[in-house]
Structure 1
Amino acid sequence: MAAKDEKDLTVTDICRILQISRRTFYEWRAKGRAPRCKRIPNGELRVRRAEFDRWYDNCEDAA
């Protein structure tokens, strides 16, 4: 089980953090650009915090 600071993020959490709409998140997901998700038994998506952090770090632009 994940530690409290390693909790899984919901789609709502991710959208709030990135200041994007749910539509944008699902468009990124369809294009393979969103962080890896897991589907829990009730059908909702979750993203492990460590996976989100890794994905976000890889979004850095070298400009």
Structure 2
Amino acid sequence: MSSPKLLKLPEVLDEIGMSRAAFYRLRARGKAPKLIKLPNNQIRCRRSDLDAWWEHCEQLAA
């Protein structure tokens, strides 16, 4: 079984076209994709969580 694809924060920011500051403001409001903090304090986002977040945003826009 393969492990889920984990994206680094800069990869997420590049894909959604958002600055780090804007992303953290969104996160503070509880509206950003779910992030995972690794034991070495790095932050990752599962590909599946980012895709689910995109789908949620599309539903809100419809």
Number of aligned residue pairs: 59
Match of 1:45 among 32, 40, 43: 43
Give the SS at the match of 1:58.
helix
Tell me which stretches of 4 or more aligned residues in structure 1 moved more than 4 Å.
none
Deviation at 1:14, TM superposition (A): 0.8
In terms of fraction of residues, the more helix-rich structure is: 2
Identity %: 36
**Following the alignment from structure 1 to structure 2, what is the Cα–Cα distance between the partners of residues 44 and 27?**
19
Name 1:27's counterpart in structure 2. 25
Question: TM-score normalised to the size of structure 1?
Answer: 0.84
Question: TM-score normalised to the size of structure 2?
Answer: 0.85
Deviation at 1:10, TM superposition (A): 1.3
TM-superposition CA deviations, 1:13-46 (whole Å, max 9, x none):
1110011101111111111010011100111111
- Structure 1, unaligned stretches of length 5 or more? none
- Structure 2, unaligned stretches of length 5 or more? none
**Following the alignment from structure 2 to structure 1, what is the Cα–Cα distance between the partners of residues 27 and 8?**
14
